[in-house]
Chains A and B, each alone.
Chain A
């Protein structure tokens, strides 16, 4: 069974204080690993897809990396508007329907 574990569950940062979020996974042949951002009361918003170990993707202050067992979302010099829950999800290679299995998320709070 595919499993995704995210840590920490919650993270408080001061504005400008860089940090990383972790996503550990077990999956039957990884087709893709996805990062989403979710604001309170809203649906998840797609950020990145990573397909193979060693791959990196960047968007503004966010950078996602992937190894064979985990992914990191690095946040450089965060701003208060980066406050949100960040969700990691995996898609298995034997999954014909492209369903995603999500982790529990990391709730990020950035204080000014």
Chain B
């Protein structure tokens, strides 16, 4: 399978706990994105990496959220001290960088978080 892979697919946690999601992008893609989607809404941009550099973060990304892409390959998104409002689908996407980039993002299946 050469698509974007996310793990875990589902996570149920209690309020106040920390959670971490992992994303493995398409191997030749050097751009990686995190989005959040709540029920009935479109995805909202959270943050973006080019290789290992985190180049942009949304205002939606509070200081409880941190994302890393240590070697420019897989990425992790950690949410500390989870709140019920964090319940959502967390989507990872990847795309090619400059040179061959036609703009489209390729999404994984998502990691659904439920905070009790």
Query: Does A pair with B?
Result: yes
Which A residues have a C-beta under 8 Å from some C-beta of B? 4, 6, 31-32, 34, 36, 41-46, 49, 87, 89, 91, 96-105
Min distance, Cβ B7 to any Cβ of chain A, angstroms: 13
Q: Is B109 an interface residue, CB under 8 A from the partner?
A: yes
Q: Which of B4, B42, B48, B55 has the most CB of A within 10 A?
A: B42
Residue contact A98 to B40, C-beta cutoff 8 Å? no
Given A97-B31, A99-B56, do A42 and B109 touch, yes or no (CB 8 Å)? yes
Q: Is B1 an interface residue, CB under 8 A from the partner?
A: no
A-B contact count (CB 8 A): 66
Residue contact A97 to B56, C-beta cutoff 8 Å? yes
Residue contact B109 to A98, C-beta cutoff 8 Å? no
Which B residues have a C-beta under 8 Å from some C-beta of A? 4, 6, 31, 33, 40-45, 48, 50, 55-56, 91, 93, 95, 101-110, 112
Min distance, Cβ A9 to any Cβ of chain B, angstroms: 8
Residue contact A43 to B105, C-beta cutoff 8 Å? no
Residue in B91, B95, B102 whose CB lies within 8 Å of A44: B91
Residue in A43, A98, A101 whose CB lies within 8 Å of B91: A43
Residue contact A49 to B104, C-beta cutoff 8 Å? yes
Residue contact A43 to B109, C-beta cutoff 8 Å? yes
Min distance, Cβ A51 to any Cβ of chain B, angstroms: 8
> Can you name 21 A-B pairs with beta carbons within 8 Å?
A32-B102, A34-B104, A34-B105, A41-B112, A42-B109, A42-B110, A43-B4, A43-B91, A43-B107, A43-B110, A45-B107, A46-B105, A49-B102, A87-B43, A97-B50, A98-B95, A98-B105, A99-B45, A101-B45, A104-B41, A105-B41
